[in-house]
Structure 1
Amino acid sequence: MTTTVGDFVVQRLRDWGVAQVFAYPGDGINGIVAAFGKADDDPKFVQTRHEEMAALAAVGFAKFSDQVGVCLATSGPGAIHLLNGLYDAKLDHVPVVAIVGQTARTAQGGSFQQEVDLHSLFRDVASFLVDVTVPEQLPNALDRAMRTARADRAPAVVIIPNDVQEQEYAAPEHEFKHIPSSPPSRPSSVVTPAQDEVERAAEVLNSGEKVAVLVGQGARGAADEVRATADLLGAGIAKALLGKDVLPDDLPYVTGSIGLLGTRPSYEMMRDCDRLLIIGSNFPYSQYLPKPGAARGVQIDLDGRAIGMRHPTEVTLVGDAKATLRALIPLLRRKEDRSWRTKIEADVERWWEVVERQAQVPADPVNPMRIVSELSRRLPHNAIVTADSGSATNWYARLLRVRGNVRSSLSGTLATMGCAVPYALGAAFAQPNRPLIALVGDGAMQMNGMAELLTLRRYGIRCVVCVFHNNDLNQVTWELRAMGGAPKFEQSQSLPDVSYASYARSIGLQGIEVDDPEQLGAAWETALAFEGSTVLDVRCDPDVPPIPPHATFDQIKDMTEAVLRGDPDAWGVLRRGLHTKIQELLP
């Protein structure tokens, strides 16, 4: 049987160890789709409900597998729909390869149906971008895309016109202007900085009395080394959102998230420290880091382009976090004065007491903080948690207590809505035996989540999708109040009401409705024990404010003025805000 270009694409993906491709069909990729059929669905063609969801699922797979995620879309609108997920991969530094169809070569340039300038479309997002116009070009193009995606931790795009997909495959010849390719491989090189730079870093850290550590996703493979470093230095450890699962929250010196969605211990540690060690993080909000001149800094990052962008670090170590810390640790002196560490641990203990009290503040009908608080008490130690963008992100960042081997992630830099359910879909293929939980606002659920429930059902995936059901685009509502000094604008912020649990039941999933806070614990237990997918539909109060523990006077002033200016929920906002904030003042 003749091997077509489409057949070779499928075979080469299999050679690379790709077990599934997240995709949506279209005639621009008919040659490749047919090849999947001839290959007995190996790799598996995972059909999402939309190309954007395919790209986001590929991101989720890559985040939770440490492998390249692969997505596939047709020409024109299919390619355009991929774009949001590919930008999510670019900004969160995730390896994804997109294979995209294109109009036949004979029709290009003639304004043919679904003809789009794909190079203009993908130029900014792709680390590697290539058109395959003859079969001989294919091995190098696809192999280089896989290698570049992994090396750059970024998207790569391979464009294959639909007439090329159906041509007979021919390998490149050993001749001028033909490019050969090597077999698929997975490089394992470890980058370490120069020894004299490591010694300079040790001098900076040893000379401090109050050391703070900030970890991001780049520190995930170096958890033991991070703990050893912090123990020697008597340091506390704050976590950027993408590094939330680097260390468990039951370590007494882990201060939790940092930034607008962060904790008071993280804020105060950064404010008061005299040394800062940043490991694998490109946390963008420098106002939450020490003021320039207040703390000498050391930064470790595998990507030299991310060094020194957020804080004027004195020593910058370009290298793998694990290998670099292993070189650094023997040079560190144990700090005998543990008063700084003792204070941090007391602050952390106090913080968890405060947020647990805040989660118990009465609301109408359910306090959204309590949703995550009740989950944290029951969170399986091998769970994967995905969080969407919106007000649910606040409660995920502050209240979810990561324990054991829990993995978690969200759209950290792009902050795209509608990512949590497709992330969970990708995670299900990355680590199929782990419990999955997606925390989703009702805006994101209406945008993408409801459709992708069908995909969860189709592939028999076990996942709890918890919907924060408040009929409000709540994060933007609070941003209007706190940052713009504007009251809630009903026409833009209010959502149509729908029973997400009823919808789940209508498509064959388990649906649980909760409108009483006392039902929450049992509802979580029922959902987590179910063998299929569950939608946990919790009606929660939109007036519970996500007030940062370090809110500025101007933010509180703007919010109060906005409420008094005619906000439709004025009384509820003031009452919930007062009850929540006062918990920080109680002994």
Structure 2
Amino acid sequence: MTRTVARAIVDALKELDVRHVFGVVGDALNPLTDAIRTTDGIEWIGCRHEEAAAFAAGAQAQLSGRLGVCMGTVGPGSVHLLNGLYDAAKSHAPVLAVCGQVPLAELGTDYFQEVDNDQLFRDVAVYRATVTSPQQMPRMLESAVRAAVTQGGVAVLTVPGDLGEQEIEEDRSVRLAPDRPVTRPDDPALAEAARLVNAGSRTTLLVGRGAREAREEVLRLAELLAAPMVLTLKAKEGFEHDNPYQVGQTGLIGNPAASHALDGCDTLVMLGTDFPYRDWYPSGCKVVQIDTRAEHLGRRIPVDAPLAGDVGATLRALLPRLEATTDRSHLDDARSRFDSWTEDQHRLADPRHDRRWTGRLRALVDNRDHDVRPEALALAVDRHAADDAVFTSDTGMATVWLSRFVTLRGTRRLLGSYNLGSMANAMPQALGAQLWDPDRQVIAFCGDGGLSMLLGDLMTIKTYRLPVKLVLFDNRRLGMVKLEQEQAGLPEFGTELDNPDFAAVATALGLTGIRVTDPDALDDAVRQALEAPGPVLLDVLTNPREIAVPAKPTVGQGWGFAIAKVKETLASDRD
């Protein structure tokens, strides 16, 4: 029994338990999409933009740990996939992109819409190839899938439009990609790491997403060493809840307690993290780093004991070699600072804050229009969201408020463009997440700049009746860029957005739209939005002047902000 190239690809995807393929239909993809149409158990999800399709596929890959799949047709359709695929690549998500191409005989002739996909995806893909003969299948597909799964990255397989309907002479099923091997360092490396840790007295752990499967071992390490645990944003998932050692995040979105825990340590143990911001690392301490990717070891900070291996397997071998720390003052100090900071933040997020005399004075300076404070919105969502909700967040201020006020308790999950830092990721990632688990609550923290960039895929959410809840921080600004400009002493420029009534737009598109302008109506509106059936867009007008103070504000940042405000006032007076 022979099969077409398209049928072989789709059969293999079904065998790999791929349930959804995201993309935009087009002529070069017609054999593939027709094969999907006639295959039970795998569904074509027609998006309005291929970038949204790639983000959605990457979201499913990150949530499930299995292969995500998207498709783009010849030329521009494939180009549109690129940004979402970069996000998947930098998140180490296994994603297969199947791209259409001009007819085989026209390759290399600068044919209409011809793009060299192998060159285009050279930087983003761990595997890329163009099928030029039916006899290459399904071996070439096997190679693509195996590379994506074992290396945790993007594979791009290009199929010319006239090749999909050709028959394969060799008829066999695709070989499933193997799981990644679990490795640990050798005994001499473990002994050296143990010697360094045992010689210290104030150890701090910096924990990343790569340690997520080793929660039990990481908590045992923190207890044994009386070590405060600083979390990267992606490590909130899995380590924030029920953890007496964690002290939140560091960096620009972090808090003073985490910064103090790092600066005050004599030994830093990095677990499954490639935290990129070198200015936030401590100096003058010994450093032990555990990571499955050997190329990550020592590239952010000099490392005294680099350990290449799985975090869980490595800690299970390392823990018996470590001595217990009896002095808990380093941990207790960090936790006390963190608890105080958290109480202060929640006080500011209380909707009644601006009615107290201190809040009224503050509002005269930074919230004269009495808009909803974004802190209050984030905390209200945290209060009413399900304990198994999946959160996504747009890059920028929406992520800041989520990081500070949403606790990933229970089995909550978190997705964002936290390595690439793209705009417009939250809504399409929520789309993919909701299809991954239709019965689970999915909440997207959207910025108005990000949402409007891929606004068309609200129609995809409506078409497939996905009950996604879109929480829009509508500050009429590119808020993070505004803050960056002001901290550098520059007046705000180019960041203001002429927004529509997004709730009315959502209603016109067939979603439930709710608009909030009164802080006193916030809590009821959030509860209503999260309890409503079907997709909801909650458009909340938030204060555009809100400032997120970094963990270690500098004098230079303060002066820059003051100078920027003077310049903005002068410009406003001239207007």
TM-score normalised to the size of structure 1?
0.92
Determine whether 1:254 maps to 2:246: yes
Deviation by residue 1:263-314 (Cα, 9 ceiling, x = unmatched): 11111111111111111111100111111xx211111101111111111111
- Match of residue 358 from structure 2: none
SS of the equivalent of 1:255 reads coil
Q: Distance in 2 between matches of 1:567 and 1:145?
A: 57
Partner residue in 1 for 2:258: 266
* 1:124 match: secondary structure: coil
Are 2:481 and 1:479 aligned?
A: no
% identical aligned pairs? 36
Q: How big is the shift at 1:338? A: 1.2
- Aligned ranges 1:144-223 → 2 under 5 Å: 144-171=143-170, 183-187=175-179, 189-223=181-215
Alignment of 1:305-324 (within 5 A): 305-324=295-314
Find the counterpart in structure 2 of residue 404 from structure 1: 410
1:71–1:206 CA distance, 2 compared to 1 (3 A): same
Partners of 1:150 and 1:454 lie apart in 2 by 31
Residue 357 of structure 1 deviates from its aligned partner by 2.1
Distance in 1 (CA, whole Å) between partners of 2:526 and 2:492 is 32
Give how far 1:546 is off.
1.9
Match of 1:469 in 2: 474
Cα separation, partners in 2 of 1:207 and 1:569, compared to 1, 3 Å: farther
CA distance in 2, matches of 1:518, 1:274: 48
1:246 aligns to what SS in structure 2? helix
Q: CA deviation at 1:561?
A: 0.6
Residue-by-residue CA offset, 1:237-278 (whole Å, 9 max, x unaligned):
111122221312553421111211111111111111111111
Q: Distance in 2 between matches of 1:461 and 1:566?
A: 43
Partner of 2:328: 338
- Alpha-carbon deviations, 1:304-360, whole Å to 9, x = none? 111111111111111111111111222222211111111111111101111112224
SS at match of 1:437: strand
Contact 1:222/1:322, CA 8 A, preserved across alignment: yes
> 1:119 and 2:121 equivalent?
no
Contact 1:387 1:439 in 2 (8 A): yes
> Which amino acid is the alignment partner of residue 306 of structure 2?
T
C-alpha contact (below 8 Å) 1:140/1:181 kept by paired residues: no
Equivalent position of 1:385 in the other structure: 391
Shift of residue 182, structure 1, vs aligned partner: 6.0
Q: Any idea what SS the aligned residue of 2:137 has?
A: helix
Query: Is 2:417 the partner of 1:414?
Result: no
Q: How far apart are the structure 1 equivalents of 2:121 and 2:177?
A: 26
- In the alignment, the residues of structure 1 paired with residue 569 and residue 31 of structure 2 have an alpha-carbon distance, to the nearest angstrom, of 56
Residue in structure 1 matched with residue 316 of structure 2 by the alignment: 326
The SS at the match of 1:223 is helix
Match for residue 290 of structure 1 among 282, 286, 291: 282
Letter of the 1:5 partner, please give it: V
What's 2:134 paired with? 135
Instruction: Check conservation: 2:435, 2:466, Cα contact below 8 A.
Output: no
TM normalised by structure 2 equals 0.94
The residue type equivalent to 2:473 in the other structure is: F
Unaligned runs of 5+ in 1: 173-179, 572-587
Distance in 1 of aligned mates of 2:453 and 2:555: 34
> Aligned equivalents of 2:89 and 2:543: distance in 1?
35
Secondary structure at the aligned position of 2:21 is classed as: strand
- Does structure 2 conserve the Cα–Cα contact (< 8 Å) formed by 1:193 and 1:319? yes
SS in 1 for 2:105: helix
SS of 2:239's equivalent?
coil
Aligned residue type for 1:138: M
Structure 1 residues 107 and 60: alpha-carbon distance in aligned structure 2, compared to 1, 3 A threshold: same
2:223 counterpart of 1:224: no
Q: Give the partner amino acid of 1:426.
A: G
Structure 1 vs Structure 2 CA RMSD: 1.8
In structure 2, the gaps of 5 or more residues are 355-366
Find the counterpart in structure 1 of residue 492 from structure 2. 488
The letter for the 2-side match of 1:78 is G
Deviation at 1:18, TM superposition (A): 1.1
- Deviating beyond 6 angstroms after TM superposition, the runs of 4 or more aligned structure 1 residues are 568-571
Query: CA offset at residue 549 of structure 1?
Result: 3.4
Is residue 301–residue 319 contact of structure 1 (8 Å, CA) maintained in 2?
A: yes
**Residue 72 of structure 1 contacts residue 100 of structure 1 at CA under 8 Å; is this kept in 2?**
yes
Structure 1 residue 421: deviation in Å?
Answer: 0.8
Whether contact under 8 Å (1:65, 1:431) holds in the other structure is no
The aligned residue for residue 578 of structure 1 is none
Confirm whether residue 535 of structure 1 aligns to residue 529 of structure 2: no
Shift of the 414–109 alpha-carbon distance from structure 1 to 2, 3 Å rule, reads: same
Question: How far has the Cα of 1:232 moved from its partner?
Answer: 0.8
* Matched letter for residue 255 of structure 2: T
SS at 1:228 equivalent = helix
Alpha-carbon contact 2:210-2:311 (below 8 Å) kept: yes
